[in-house]
Amino acid sequence: MIASHFGIEGFDMARLTVADGWAPQALAFLDMIAYSEIGPALLAASDDGYNVLVGSTPAKPLLFDSYAKHPQILNHALNSTAAGRYQIIRGTWLGVAGELGLKDFSPESQDEAAIELVRSRGAIDPLAEGDIEQAIAVCSKEWASLPGAGYGQHENRMIDLLKAYNAALAKYA
């Protein structure tokens, strides 16, 4: 678990594992994205965010019940189809799932898709070099909750994301 002083008690790790050959830095970065996009309370109130629809709040979680495919549910108020642990919109999902040959929207598929999005944004080298701020910066156009995204939505503070990343990384050591 990530340290409770980050308010993430009960926060689980990505479903992909180091034992399966995934780099600890990549998995910790996924956990940080989930922390940023979903938030600790909603992560705890769901299947660690994997079944969360955009517009959810801890008081009123909007959850889907099948991982067979991206739920493709439009939140009219937000004009978004974002879903899952990484709040991937339908169009992005269709593209990345097609590239990777993903057959469902399972937690493992969501993790693989998110890693591909991180890679396609050019964040793998900064992650490997320990430059987490640069990795966050280049991924900010993919995830609106990251600092500098500029989508007019809530953006988390860099210091909080670095703390979440470092706490997550410790879980994979």
Q: Which of 37, 112, 142, 155 is catalytic?
A: 37
For residue 133 the two structure tokens come to: 């701020």
Is 112 assigned a catalytic role?
no
Count other C-beta atoms under 10 Å from residue 26's C-beta. 22
What secondary structure does DSSP assign to 24-70, as a single string?
HHHHHHHHHHHHHHH-HHHHHTTTTTTTBBTT--SSS--B----SS-
In Å, the largest CA–CA distance within the chain is 42
Active-site residue set: 37
